[in-house]
Chains A and B, each alone.
Chain A
Amino acid sequence: MLIKLTGGTVYDPASGIDGQVQNLYVRDGRFVKQPAADVKIDKEYDLTGKVVMSGAIDMHTHIGGGKGNIARMLIPEDHRKDPVYRSDITRSGCGHAMPSTFTTGYRYAEMGYTAGFEPAILPVNARQAHMEMADIPILDKGGYVMLGSDDYLLRMLTAKKDQKAINDYVAWTMNAAKAIGVKVVNPGGINAFKFNQRKLELDEQNAHYGVSPREILQVLATAVKEIGVKHPLHVHGCNLGVPGNVGTTLDTIQGIGGLPMHLTHIQFHSYGTEGDFKFSSGGAQIAEAINKNKNITADVGQILFGQTITASGDNMRQHANHGFANPNKWVCMDIECDAGCGVVPFKYRDQNFVNALQWAIGLEIFLLVDDPWRVFLTTDHPNGAPFTTYPHLIRLLMDKSFRNDMLATIHPEAQKMTTLASIDREYSLQEIAILTRAGAAKLIGLDDRGSLGEGAWADITVYTENADREKMFEKPDYVFKDGELVVVDGKVVQTKWGTTHIVRPEWDISVEQDLQKYFERFMTMKVGNFKISDDEMTEDGRGSLTTHSLNGTV
């Protein structure tokens, strides 16, 4: 099957193409060179005047795993407002804050997204994460395995195991949990909460292990680098949501000593303590630090106003914030000497000073970080807002007058506490393509996605140019996944199953001997039953694994 996409205006930052009119050719799911004149084109799409980008990639979205399903169970009243009918080709479900899996896949695809990555896979809950994601149609998926509050790692640090041993453990866990990255959430804090610590500063010690978050970040960031994983350590820092945490975040950036590090939902970690309400923006300081430190990347975790639900591994901070639960119900869970989770419904309100300023802080960071390859478009779905708000967020970034109109409607004191009105920057289409495609693929370490270049998989989104960027991005004309047409005019026309992206870093076999002893002594399952095999990922008949290269390999 040879497809020709004719005459579209192409934005493909991965290939250095910025708004040029080009034809694209797809054979058997991948982009190919222009074929010889006598080769028969099986299907041609006239894209004259249309905007063509690769399929968008959400590099941080909570779409698979236990806490998401707890969130679903907790808020039936939210689902009832957004029922999704079945059709001849699609399954029924529910939408809004925490959609069902099938609806998640359809709605992402209908916005032009073709991949999503779950950032918080607990090793012990990895099976569930992959099973849920296996029921998300169309999208490719993958995830980052969570370490840093697991007792095994903390015991290693207390026992002063060397970096090599830690590297082996990290690599082993990535293989066992089928991950493409490593995440740390409130480093050591989830563990400290089990010992009744209620906060943990960057240099504060875990009461039992005598280990600080700074040490955990250092060994994990080093491990990720040394085992060759391309996605830098994915860090949800200390003190999420705490006024004054901008200091912690700046210290975290300085303290990592140049190692690659990704700071996630950094908006929640950029708060000062100035002003009448002792809550102020640290957006400019954070953006400046990112601009200066080329080893740092960040996604924003923008909040948008309305009802949502927050689901996080950070049960220490979620417990501390449970008083804000709206509606007033919440769940916290300690999980299996591995991690934990906290689920708290939230309603962000534009007339609430703190929420309004959170909104502005996120936008400040987007607009003040110079390098679009090092900042990523997220709402930390569903924590800042559901992913379905992305077209609105893109308009806020691309349209200064719209942004200022919105700014004029929020809590007046918050307006005074932000520099947003003075920022003239408007993102270009090429920059949006970097944030949501090329940059994301590069950051995750996907070898052949996020590009329209020859050899890449043909995940393609086609939009009609519209000055209203929200309208433009919420309803693509066409979406192709692996060269197959899946969406027309913003509606799914065909479904398929995506692959699961992983890496397979190497480890020394001896690491498993220690793990086996640990599992026998302290855990509740055999180590052999803990590991997820390749066969297990595919035995449902629709899953597949795609292994990506490591640094230092081809």
Chain B
Amino acid sequence: MTEITEVPSPFCGIGTDDLTIHVEGLSVKVSENGCAVNTPAFEQDITDTSARVNGKEVSLELAVAKAADLLRASNQPVIGGCATDVNGMRGVMAVADKAGAVVDNVNFPAARRNFLALQDTGWMTTTLAEIKNRCDFLLVVGVDLEGFSPRFFERYLWNKESMFLDDTSQRDVVYLGKVPSGEASTSPTGGKAKVIPCADADLPEVMAVLRALVKGRKIVAESVCSVAINDLQGIAEQLKAAKYGVVTWAAGALGFDHAELTVQMLCEMVKDINTMDTRCSGFPLGGKEGDQTANQVCGWTSAYPARARFSSGFPEYDPFLYDSNVMLANGEADVLVWVQAFNTTSVPPVTELPTIVVARSGMTFAKEPDVFIPVGTPGIDHAGHTYRLDNVIAIHLKKLRDSGLPSTAEVLNAIEHAL
């Protein structure tokens, strides 16, 4: 048995890198600092070790050749999922460029809400270490933060020491919208988060009123949706009184039409506060299953986020037109490639089209894909890089065991060479 310490996780998005892991042969056990997200993701067994074509086990070379054949015959392939490490995503980009494919990250429907706001007006944001050391007021909008990230509070809010706060347990936390699922947001000294619940669909209106109150506009009504104006006024005052307020949201949790307008309202409110003689920052939650990684790598190789098309011979970006699910539904694609190195439950969309799956060992299918190539998981079976939710921090993932599974990059580079 080997014990490996200071193991970084690609699964939780918040870049925990203090896991202790026991490795025995192919078995992986998280022995310290696990959580509901990371432990099962690390401990999942390897089941498939061999590639398959039409359900029959074949050599990797044969599966690669078959995948290349399907892509060569395709007029418009789409590469969905795109959930892998930096080198894997480099492989996705190389295949897409050569095959004229669409690249579409699995979390783009959520990320689009942020990109539309970013590309229209921009934002002011911060990172985890700033929160850990500076944040004196956290406003959580429309997300169950501990459900998203079980160790967020323990690591970044209730840390014992901080450089600029005398007592971290005195930080104020307010939830607006979704109610927390547990007690993680309760401070070590028992201080409870204030919760101002409302339905997700009411957030556009509630956020608009909150921004108006921050700007000192007079609101005559006594409530908006189910929320008392007094409660929102309290939040507005706390935001302005805080030395370093942080407003966090998860685009993936804002499941209503035109949520980008709510993201924009929130981000513009943060900008407003920075003109009121104090500091405040936004903090978008994400970073799971390589979504930041996909956007970063697609960003530097194509200049666009990870919903881009290469069939014209150059990259084109459209956050709506190149939605792989829409393209599949409308008959605009003729081959599906699904890349998912992290999560076996994130299966390809059901389609009658020829399908190539490059995915974590153990994925099961309602309909056997034409080609299935099981790959290693970055940070378990091979080294690699993944981005944390705060986007500027790439973490170097470790290889924990010798499974013999190829990496996403090895498989995709082989397909690219065969094209």
Which positions in B face A, CB cutoff 8 Å? 6, 8, 15, 17-18, 86-87, 90, 94, 97-98, 115, 118-130, 132-134, 155-156, 161-164, 243-244, 274, 277-279, 281, 295-296, 299-305, 310, 312-317, 383, 385, 387, 390-396
Closest B residue by C-beta to A96: B303
Tell me the smallest distance from the CB of A539 to a CB of chain B, in Å.
6
Quick check: A86 and B134 within 8 Å, CB to CB? Answer: no
Hey, what's the 0/1 contact readout for A112-138 against B, CB within 8 Å counting as 1? 000000000010110110011001000
Closest B residue by C-beta to A533: B396
Q: Which residues of B contact A73 (CB under 8 A)?
A: 115, 118-119, 295, 299, 304-305
In this assembly, does A55 line the interface, its C-beta being within 8 Å of a C-beta of chain B?
Answer: no
In this assembly, does A151 line the interface, its C-beta being within 8 Å of a C-beta of chain B?
Answer: yes
Closest B residue by C-beta to A527: B6
Given contacts A128-B296, A529-B6, A529-B8, A522 and B119 within 8 Å (CB-CB): no
Q: Which residues of B contact A80 (CB under 8 A)?
A: 316-317
Q: Which residues of A contact B281 (CB under 8 A)?
A: 333-334
Given pairs A92-B310, A125-B392, A329-B120, 19 additional interface contacts (CB within 8 A): A72-B299, A72-B300, A74-B122, A86-B97, A93-B314, A99-B303, A101-B301, A125-B394, A132-B300, A196-B243, A333-B124, A336-B127, A336-B130, A341-B392, A522-B162, A522-B163, A524-B393, A529-B17, A529-B395
Quick check: A331 and B123 within 8 Å, CB to CB? Answer: yes
Quick check: B395 and A525 within 8 Å, CB to CB? Answer: yes
Q: Which residues of B contact A521 (CB under 8 A)?
A: 161
For the A-B complex, the count of residue pairs with Cβ-Cβ distances under 8 Å equals: 193
Q: Which residues of B contact A127 (CB under 8 A)?
A: 385, 394-396
Given contacts A334-B130, A522-B132, A79 and B393 within 8 Å (CB-CB): no
In this assembly, does A452 line the interface, its C-beta being within 8 Å of a C-beta of chain B?
Answer: no
Quick check: B394 and A335 within 8 Å, CB to CB? Answer: no
Given contacts A522-B132, A525-B395, A334 and B296 within 8 Å (CB-CB): no
Quick check: B314 and A94 within 8 Å, CB to CB? Answer: yes
- Alpha-carbon separation in the docked complex, A74 to B122 (Å): 7
Q: Which residues of A contact B164 (CB under 8 A)?
A: 208
- Alpha-carbon separation in the docked complex, A551 to B65 (Å): 54
Residue picked from B134, B281, B304, most chain A C-beta under 10 Å: B304
Tell me the smallest distance from the CB of A65 to a CB of chain B, in Å.
9
- Alpha-carbon separation in the docked complex, A325 to B171 (Å): 34
Quick check: A334 and B127 within 8 Å, CB to CB? Answer: yes
Q: Which 3 A-B pairs have the closest CB atoms?
A: A83-B314, A94-B303, A329-B122
Which positions in A face B, CB cutoff 8 Å? 66, 68-69, 72-76, 79-80, 83-86, 91-94, 98-103, 122, 124-125, 127-128, 131-132, 135, 151, 155, 193-196, 208, 319, 325, 328-338, 341, 343, 521-526, 528-529, 532, 536, 539-540
- Alpha-carbon separation in the docked complex, A325 to B123 (Å): 13
Q: Determine the main DSSP class of B at the interface with A.
A: mixed
- Alpha-carbon separation in the docked complex, A468 to B195 (Å): 69
Given contacts A94-B314, A335-B130, A525-B17, A125 and B393 within 8 Å (CB-CB): yes
Tell me the smallest distance from the CB of A518 to a CB of chain B, in Å.
9
Given contacts A335-B130, A522-B132, A528-B6, A76 and B317 within 8 Å (CB-CB): yes
Closest A residue by C-beta to B396: A536
Name the contact of B315 in the complex, choosing from A83, A135, A155, A328 (C-beta under 8 A). Answer: A83
Name the contact of B393 in the complex, choosing from A135, A331, A525 (C-beta under 8 A). Answer: A525
Name the contact of B304 in the complex, choosing from A94, A328, A338, A522 (C-beta under 8 A). Answer: A94
Closest B residue by C-beta to A315: B124
Q: Which residues of A contact B300 (CB under 8 A)?
A: 68-69, 72, 100-101, 132, 135
Quick check: A335 and B304 within 8 Å, CB to CB? Answer: no
Quick check: B395 and A333 within 8 Å, CB to CB? Answer: no
- Alpha-carbon separation in the docked complex, A196 to B276 (Å): 10
Q: Which residues of A contact B17 (CB under 8 A)?
A: 525-526, 529
- Alpha-carbon separation in the docked complex, A72 to B392 (Å): 14
Name the contact of A337 in the complex, choosing from B119, B121, B133, B304 (C-beta under 8 A). Answer: B133
A-B contacts, 12 of them at CB < 8 A, read A73-B305, A83-B314, A86-B314, A93-B314, A122-B392, A127-B394, A128-B392, A195-B279, A328-B121, A331-B123, A522-B132, A522-B161
Quick check: A524 and B132 within 8 Å, CB to CB? Answer: yes
Quick check: B121 and A128 within 8 Å, CB to CB? Answer: no
Tell me the smallest distance from the CB of A543 to a CB of chain B, in Å.
11
Name the contact of B133 in the complex, choosing from A131, A331, A522, A532 (C-beta under 8 A). Answer: A522
Given contacts A524-B156, A525-B15, A525-B17, A92 and B302 within 8 Å (CB-CB): yes
